[in-house]
């Protein structure tokens, strides 16, 4: 991923956290057995999964968690390991978390 380049989201919906610390708390929770909506940073792009996951994590982390979905244009503004700061085409800004295994979910826009 190149910082400052424009990408199109090709797979999944991605949770967007207001701070890197909130994204880190989320990432740390992935090892815990949770009785919750999908607790991965990505979810199949269905009409109800991403909003439910964002709502769940908003309540758990006591902050506003949003999401961005397929065909959204994004720019990676900053990167710190697996944490990426993102600006979406609809004006959302925040942090998400993913490993290099998910780079194919994004296609550089020309």
pLDDT digits over 48-85, tens only?
678 888 998 999 999 999 999 888 999 999 999 889 99
For residue 39, what pLDDT is reported? 40
For residue 52, what pLDDT is reported? 85
For residue 31, what pLDDT is reported? 62
User: In the sheet that 73-80 helps form, which strands lie side by side, from edge to edge?
Assistant: 93-97, 83-88, 73-80, 6-9, 106-108
How many whole angstroms separate alpha carbon 99 and alpha carbon 19?
18
């Amino acid at each position: 991923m190149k910082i400052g380049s424009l990408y199109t989201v090709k797979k999944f919906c991605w949770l967007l956290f207001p701070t890197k610390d909130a994204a880190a708390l989320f990432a740390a929770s992935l090892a815990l057995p949770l009785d919750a909506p999908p607790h991965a940073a990505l979810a199949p792009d269905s009409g109800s999964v991403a909003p439910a996951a964002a709502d769940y994590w908003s309540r758990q982390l006591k902050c506003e968690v949003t999401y961005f979905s397929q065909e959204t244009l994004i720019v990676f503004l900053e990167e710190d390991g697996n944490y990426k700061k993102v600006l979406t085409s609809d004006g959302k800004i925040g942090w998400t978390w993913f490993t290099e295994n998910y780079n194919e979910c994004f296609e550089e826009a020309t």
